[in-house]
Structure 1
Amino acid sequence: MDYVNLGRSGLLVSPLSLGTMNFGPRTTEEDSFAIMDRAHELGLNFFDTANVYGGQKGAGITENILGRWFAQGGGRREKTVLATKVYGDMGDWPNERRLSALNIRRACDASLKRMQTDYIDIYQAHHVDRDTPFEEFWEAMEVLRQQGKIIYVGSSNFAGWHIAKAQETAARRNFTGLISEQSHYNLLTRAPELEVLPACEDYGLGVIPWSPLAGGLLGGVLRKIDKGRSAADNMVKQLERHRDKIEQWEKFCDELNEDPANVALAWLLKQRAVAAPIIGPRTMEQLEGSLRALEIDLDEAALARIDEIFPGHRTAPEDYAW
């Protein structure tokens, strides 16, 4: 496994991040444990979660699963770069959501308890909070770091100007600031190329793309339907909207003799500032199959063809101005 620095930090992470959102709602605890153990065997050290993950079973369920896995010992916690998030609703009362200093303090302590650990490697803002100034946000994070409860801070779903504002505010406080941005980025969602990716590159943030397969559309959906597998209603709607592109995409991947999901991941790894796309396996087979993406080397001709199928963006303002 060739590990990469996460942004400008000295933190080394695997080039694929193990997303845990399915653990609990769609993957049993036993299977989740097996997937995490196998991830370590394969060299994946970067695990991502969030305090709200758990689906209909309830917020916090996924962190609890991670905690019971860590509690087995065997160096599981020490080998893991652990990232979780704060922002989402964790209760019905005020101050049980978003990024106030009060909620950040309480949410961090609750995540630590659920995950049975005394520190979080990367504590991420799950969304920008327009009602909380960055001065308050950074003061809360500075306190957590001084207490040894967190080591690094990351963001998720920030716009380019949010990243700039966050970093400039941190710099005035002589604080490290953000080292990562978890962004919705894939071949069908290339808007981050306008400003988010350039901002991350300039400020030294590692980009962690979420939904790298566009909810499964880039993972060979037409092949699966041809084999008799059903698709959810929202998937069918999205497929009809993008059918022409998806047909071209799967034909191109056939020409490469590669699985579409792995090519989509390989493409992301070629993009500026990208550190580690998030994979969210529900099964062991999906986990092991995703490692193929690290072996696919897309040449300039292949990248050009992909851009023809899924046109991207130039950096703003050149994308829309002279």
Structure 2
Amino acid sequence: MEYTSLGRTGLSVSRLCLGTMNFGPLTDEADSHAIMDSALQEGINFFDTANVYGWGENKGRTEEIIGSWFAKGGGRREQTVLATKLYGAMPGPGGEEWPNRGKLSALNIRRACDASLKRLGTDYIDVYQMHHVDRATPWDEVWQAMEVLVAQGKILYTGSSNFAGWHIATAQAAAERRGYLGLVAEQSLYNLLARTVELEVLPSAQHHGLGVIPWSPLQGGLLGGVLRKAGEKGGRSADRAEKLTAAQRDQLQAYEDFCDKLGHEPGTVALAWLLHQPAVTAPIVGPRTAGQLTTALAALEVTLDADALARLDEIFPGHRTAPEDYAW
């Protein structure tokens, strides 16, 4: 397994990040534990979750599953770089939603962190991430609350998710005024089909020294060979293929044909492409099964040469940062 630094930190993380969103809703506890064991055995040390995962009435369930896995011992917690998130509203006493149970007020940051630590069965979080920006809370309030958590030893670093480029810049400027490290990583939607972050988010992250952790690297399965699978199996893939526009179908057909030429599975190529992008630290892979984890690991062995990367840019045109993106 290849490792890299997470942004401008001394933290070494694997080039793939294990996403746990499916643990609970789609993958039961025993299978979730098996997937995490397999990931750790393969050298994946970077795990991502969120307090709201589990969804609906089961918010927090995913963190609980990770906590029960840590409780098995064997160095599981010590070997894992753990990232979780806050922002989404969590139920209060009695199960109903109460004020100050979501977003980024100082009160909710304190409350959400303590609740996540309890569910996760650990006394610290390596990377505590803001799931979204909170336009109503001043950055000095956010950073003061995060500084307290660092001083208490409850978190080591802070990160963001789904931030715009100017959100990153504003957050970092406020942190710098306070003499605080600020953000060390940004999670963004980024894949061959979704490349708008190349305009502002990636340049801002690189300028400020943030690691980039792409989520949905297969765009919900569209880059995983959806046309081929629709022909083979029907079901979910057939439903997705049916909803494609003619332009999307042509684009994905060209992509799948090119993957055949390369001799690799489409999902493997999509992940490998992200690993070739200089801003990217580790794409998030969210396997529902052990087999899907094995498929994701294959991307680490794929090298795309300049011609292959150029062909992928032809099929899925990307962006350059301003002003080049707008040049005639």
**TM-score exceeds 0.5:** yes
Q: Select 1:226's aligned residue among 226, 231, 235.
A: 231
1:320 equivalent to 2:321? Answer no
Per the alignment, residue 125 of structure 1 pairs with: 130
1:187 equivalent to 2:204? Answer no
Q: CA RMSD in A?
A: 1.3
Per the alignment, residue 90 of structure 2 pairs with: 90
| Larger displacement relative to structure 2 (51-60 or 75-84) | 51-60
Q: Which amino acid aligns with 1:71?
A: A
Cα offset, 1:313, TM superposition? 0.3
CA distance in 1, matches of 2:113, 2:173: 24
Q: Which amino acid aligns with 2:284?
A: I
Alignment TM-score, normalising by the size of structure 1: 0.97
Give % identity.
66
1:307 equivalent to 2:310? Answer no
8 Å contact from structure 1 (residues 17, 278) kept in 2:
yes
1:19 equivalent to 2:19? Answer yes
CA distance in 2, matches of 1:17, 1:295: 16
CA distance in 2, matches of 1:22, 1:33: 12
1:30 equivalent to 2:30? Answer yes
Secondary structure of residue in 2 paired with 1:117: coil
Cα offset, 1:229, TM superposition? 2.9
Cα offset, 1:303, TM superposition? 0.4
1:64 equivalent to 2:64? Answer yes
CA distance in 1, matches of 2:209, 2:107: 29
Alignment TM-score, normalising by the size of structure 2: 0.96
Per the alignment, residue 178 of structure 1 pairs with: 183
Q: Select 1:260's aligned residue among 255, 263, 266.
A: 266
8 Å contact from structure 2 (residues 124, 156) kept in 1:
yes
1:80 equivalent to 2:80? Answer yes
CA distance in 1, matches of 2:243, 2:285: 20
Cα offset, 1:316, TM superposition? 1.9
Per the alignment, residue 208 of structure 1 pairs with: 213
Aligned pair count reads: 322
1:287 equivalent to 2:278? Answer no
8 Å contact from structure 1 (residues 201, 272) kept in 2:
no
Q: Select 1:166's aligned residue among 159, 164, 171.
A: 171
Secondary structure of residue in 2 paired with 1:231: helix
Structure 1 residues 49 and 27: alpha-carbon distance in aligned structure 2, compared to 1, 3 A threshold? same
**Which ranges in structure 1 are unaligned for 5 or more consecutive residues?**
none
Q: Which amino acid aligns with 2:148?
A: V
Cα offset, 1:234, TM superposition? 7.2
Cα offset, 1:122, TM superposition? 0.1
Cα offset, 1:228, TM superposition? 2.0
Secondary structure of residue in 2 paired with 1:199: helix
